[in-house]
Amino acid sequence: MTALTLLTEEEQFFQSEIAKFAQNQVAPKVVQMDEAEALDPQLLTQCFEMGLMGIDVDPKYGGTGGSFFMSCLAIEEISKIDPGVGVCIDVQNTLVNNIFHRWANAAQQAKFFPQLVSGKVGCFCLTEADSGSDAFALQSRAVWQDNAWVLTGKKIFITNAMEAEIFVFFANAAPEKGYKGITAFILEKNMLGLSIGKKEKKLGIRASSTCEVIVDQVRVPAENVLGEVGKGYKVAIETLNEGRIGIAAQMVGLAQGAFSGALRYARERVQFGKSINSFQGVQFQLARMATEIEAAKLLMYNAARLKDAGKPFAKEAAMAKYLGSEVAEKVASVSLEIYGGYGFVKEFPAEKFYRDAKIGKLYEGTSNLQLQTIFKIIDL
């Protein structure tokens, strides 16, 4: 059984349409975006027009009306071509839109979903300089003052920050209560005191913006509290559980993209009078990679299906993210080696996939955190 057999006809059609979009619209811009370290604005517009930024949002808000699983299919297909574009779509769907699905009230959904699906990028602002893996040590503060929340703080490593117009921002409204004071707020780009700080220069996924988000005495109305005051830690944990499946999809897509290039090259490259894929050493490398990719894909698909079915999936999400990032890094490395010296130069895509792969073990929970989560949940 292959991963394809787990898709319905509707899902297969959706996947094929996204694959065409990735080949026709994303692929021609990959090199330029990597060199410019920026997402092409026209491509971002096309992503909205394709419905890729609101895949599982209700059509009454302008969304596509698909499933979380379909969001993962889209992330996977786009990441086969450019994981930097893949993570932009990932954050919009599996983090931001998911938060609004799970925690926003009816008025918030009615206001923000139409914006998120039609042209406004969202971002998830949790990480700070001293609160990475220890996410709830954050220092951003929220103070109730003159009938509004006043927020102060600085976030780092925020994906989509440069393009974003809607920010889910976590701050502590009651520091004396520890993590139980953390609250999620909806911020908008035009709010006075909100600014974008340093844009990071990165090893990989360079089309994706990663920036500081700074709030300095930003006044936020009470109706922009997402969920309940003091429940932000729960909002963050549960959202990240879902987001990890999206990262697994990105990494599985990356691995397939790297593998496909290596497989084509092995068929075309001639040494000692025959193509290098006729040598057993290369055959075994390719066979191992294909097997590991399939295992990671099935694990990711299973986690996404469990999420859509409303069943517990935290363990499976952690497993999918852990294995997906491990496989992506390994496949990208071995694929580069199959190209030989050509793998080390930018003429071929192998070196970019290799650079892009490393982030998988780091963001939305390091590999060690995934292992810790898995260990806590496993039932022997």
Question: Quick one: tokens of 155?
Answer: 């976030």
Which residues have a catalytic role annotated?
Answer: 364
CA distance 46 to 350: 26
Instruction: Give the angle subtended at the CA of 362 by the CAs of 134 and 375, to the nearest 5°.
Output: 65
Q: CA–CA distance from 29 to each of 200, 264, 274 (Å)?
A: 21, 21, 34
Between the alpha carbon of residue 91 and those of residues 159, 208, 299, the distances in Å are 7, 11, 20
344-349-355-358 Cα dihedral, nearest 10 degrees: -120
Mark residue 160 as left, alpha or beta (left: phi above 0; alpha: psi -120 to 50; beta: remaining): left
Residue 220: phi and psi, rounded to 5, are -125, 125
In angstroms, the CA 43 to CA 89 distance is: 12
DSSP letters of 67-129?
Answer: -HHHHHHHHHHHHHH-HHHHHHHHIIIIIIIHHHHHH--HHHHHHHHHHHHHT-EEEEE--BT
Q: Which residues pair with 184 in a beta bridge?
A: 170, 226
**Cross-strand partners of 168:** 124, 186
CA 370 to chain CA centroid, Å, is: 16
Residue 2's φ and ψ, nearest 5 degrees, are -110, 170
Alpha-carbon distance of 238 to 245, in angstroms, equals: 12
β-bridge partners, 308: none
Alpha-carbon gap, residue 147 to 137, rounded angstroms: 27
